[in-house]
Amino acid sequence: MRLSLGLLTGLVAIIVALPSAAQAAPPAAPLVVDLKAEGKLPGKQGGTLRMLMSKEKDIRFLSAWGYARLIGWTENYTLKPDIAESIGVEGERKFTIRLRKGHLWSDGAPFTSEDFRYFWEDIANNAELTPAGPPVALLNDGEKPKVSYPDAQTVIYEWSKPNPRFLETLAMAREPYIYRPAHYLRKFHTKYAQAKVIAAAVATAKVSKWAPLHNRLDSMYGNDNPDMPTLQPWVVTTAMPAAKFVFRRNPNFHRVDAQGVQLPYIDTIEVGVTDRDLIPIKTSAGDSDLQALGLNFADMTALKQNEQKGKYRAYPWASGKGAAIALYPNLTCNDPVWRTLNRDVRFRRALSLGINRQEINKSLFFGLALAANNAPVAPSPLSDPRYSSADASFDPKAANALLDAIGLTARNPNGTRKLPDGRPLEIIVESSGETKEEADAVQLVAQHYKALGISLILKSSDRTQMRNRAYSGDAVMTVFTGWDNGIPTPAMNPGELAPVWQTGLAWPKWGQYYETKGAAGEAPDVPAAKQLLALNRQWDQAVPADRSKIWRQMLDIHAQERFIIGVVAGVPQPVAVSMALRNVPAKGRWAWDPGAQFGLYRMDTFWLDR
């Protein structure tokens, strides 16, 4: 059931008679952006930017692309304070966050340390709102931080041991949001609101009690609550469901250009929801001013052909992924036979050696991609041919020998090998169904595997269903992109290489066990996975000079164990940019973390010259 958020918060506001905030201005000490130093053009305020998305929930990407963070990545991949005026660091154990005096939420209420206190004490450590306890992102080897609030502009996080992940976590595309608009959410919290207010709100929302209501309205990332104040450059004004979502500029945004003009330059963003297959067509017709979502490499030819007609430029941005397409044998799947097979490194290596990557690159990507395994890519200092080429050559003879060595020698009359229990060796690969290139690549892999006596079948659904089936153990194998961070430095968190997140499709139940502190999932019981966990912990406590060594040890394990089977890497991402839109780079890097895709280039500095 969809909730009428405007009706609900209107009801509560009437009951508690809260005054409206009419202030509108950047902070007294805003973040001054030197556009000329960044090679950009100072702009002018105004205009409407049009974008296209295939699902209503995709409007959450604006929270990433707006990329207002306490601290964020620069285009040189260094961390710089953003929402925070400064962050003092002592021994990587104590972090003192100083906020900008006079900084306001989008609705005009002050943004202060109280917003951090409310999140930490009233949400993260409230058993009804957060039964599992504080998010793993704020735990350091299981230890909660000591959080203090010396004054309205200061928040201190302190752990007993170094926590080098903390700042990087705050800079993520989907940040943990360690603050909340306390003035807004208090209206729905049983600790602060009157009982009659809570009862009326719960009844209107048709939920069982206050906690589900609070959690539903606490939508910092989803952009699905127009009443939720934000610090992002644009504020959603449209409630779901809708065919078009309108975002308006935040009148209290904290960034200004060198001339004192408040950012964002663009007044309005209109997001049209359309069928995914129509996005390339509509983009080619000039119906979007900035588009990457829904565009794939296969669309590039048509996009280039229609540039003049559509009044845009189509740019091929470099990929920041470890692999554009990768297979994930699920080491924590439920089927005991498949679990045993997926955990056999010989099987994983055979699957990798059985792929003709050069053919896939030539057939689908005109030879412009990399016939490589999942690994760091240039310009990462950790990029190494040893990692990208490991088990990446097409060697069906070696692959068949490995399969025979496992004992998979019995075959059906059609030549398909048999599993130990007599079933055919038929792999169901589950997909999010988001790109045609992925589906085409899997079909080519299926042809290659047929020569190995393996039947490969693609099952497409959507991302949520695919992930949930992997998490539950029902999916034996999935196909998705490789590591999000394909351009790491030794100073960056190596957690993606270890089973610490449920989202790791190679071992979701191990990741769930780590994230829930053993309350759910399964403890890792494969020696290499345990070693990755140990190295991940060592990185936390290592001096900076030793972190490169730990990264390489973890990469060595992945090259040896082939937990993730990369198919191709380095596939360019088409980005269509209106000829009237300024400050969007022709040569960019499309990466989720680090960088938040468009966020790395600060969308608030884009402007329309029309």
Q: Which of 236, 241, 185, 273 is nearest to 4 (CA)?
A: 241
Measured CA to CA, the distance from residue 485 to residue 468 in angstroms comes to 22
pLDDT, tens digit, 9 for 90 and up, residues 470-482? 999 999 999 999 9
Structure confidence at residue 472 (pLDDT): 98
Measured CA to CA, the distance from residue 261 to residue 26 in angstroms comes to 10
pLDDT, tens digit, 9 for 90 and up, residues 125-149? 999 999 989 998 899 988 999 999 9
DSSP 104: B
The answer to whether position 610 is within a domain reads: no
Question: Predicted confidence band at 14 (pLDDT cuts at 50, 70, 90)?
Answer: very low
The answer to whether position 333 is within a domain reads: yes
pLDDT, tens digit, 9 for 90 and up, residues 352-388? 999 999 999 999 999 999 999 999 999 999 999 999 9
Measured CA to CA, the distance from residue 323 to residue 485 in angstroms comes to 10
Structure confidence at residue 561 (pLDDT): 98
Residue 388: which H helix or E strand, with range?
A: helix 385-388
Give a three-class secondary structure readout of 149-185.
EEECCEEEEECCCCCCCHHHHHCCCCCCCCCCCHHHH
Residue count (the chain): 610
pLDDT (average), residues 160-173: 96
The answer to whether position 257 is within a domain reads: no
Measured CA to CA, the distance from residue 127 to residue 122 in angstroms comes to 9
Domain that holds residue 501: 325-568
DSSP 118: I
Q: Which of 163, 566, 178, 174 is nearest to 357 (CA)?
A: 566
Pair of tokens at residue 543: 């001096």
Residue with tokens 């036979």, as numbered in its chain? 337
The answer to whether position 447 is within a domain reads: yes
Domain tally for the chain?
A: 1
CB 272 within 8 Å of CB 246: no
Measured CA to CA, the distance from residue 241 to residue 224 in angstroms comes to 9
Measured CA to CA, the distance from residue 150 to residue 148 in angstroms comes to 6
CA 553 to chain centre: 25
Residues 6+ apart with CB under 8 A from 352: 373, 391, 392, 562, 565
CATH (domain of 426): 3.10.105.10
CB 227 within 8 Å of CB 7: no
Structure confidence at residue 79 (pLDDT): 97
The answer to whether position 421 is within a domain reads: yes
**146 backbone dihedrals φ, ψ, rounded to 5°:** -90, 120
Measured CA to CA, the distance from residue 112 to residue 119 in angstroms comes to 12
Structure confidence at residue 10 (pLDDT): 52
Structure confidence at residue 23 (pLDDT): 56
Residue with tokens 């792999």, as numbered in its chain? 427
Q: Is 93 exposed, middle or buried (0-12, 13-18, 19+ CB in 10 A)?
A: middle
Average pLDDT, the chain: 95
Residues 6+ apart with CB under 8 A from 277: none
Measured CA to CA, the distance from residue 313 to residue 305 in angstroms comes to 10
CB 155 within 8 Å of CB 145: no
Percent of the chain scored above 70 by pLDDT?
96
Cα torsion 97, 103, 104, 105: sign: negative
The answer to whether position 528 is within a domain reads: yes
pLDDT, tens digit, 9 for 90 and up, residues 180-223? 999 999 999 999 999 999 999 999 999 999 999 999 999 999 99
Question: Predicted confidence band at 594 (pLDDT cuts at 50, 70, 90)?
Answer: very high
Percent of the chain scored above 90 by pLDDT?
94
560 pLDDT above the threshold of 90: yes
| Angle, alpha carbons 401-352-593 (nearest 5°) | 160
Structure confidence at residue 517 (pLDDT): 85
Measured CA to CA, the distance from residue 100 to residue 457 in angstroms comes to 55
Q: Which of 185, 166, 186 is nearest to 175 (CA)?
A: 166
| Angle, alpha carbons 137-143-148 (nearest 5°) | 80
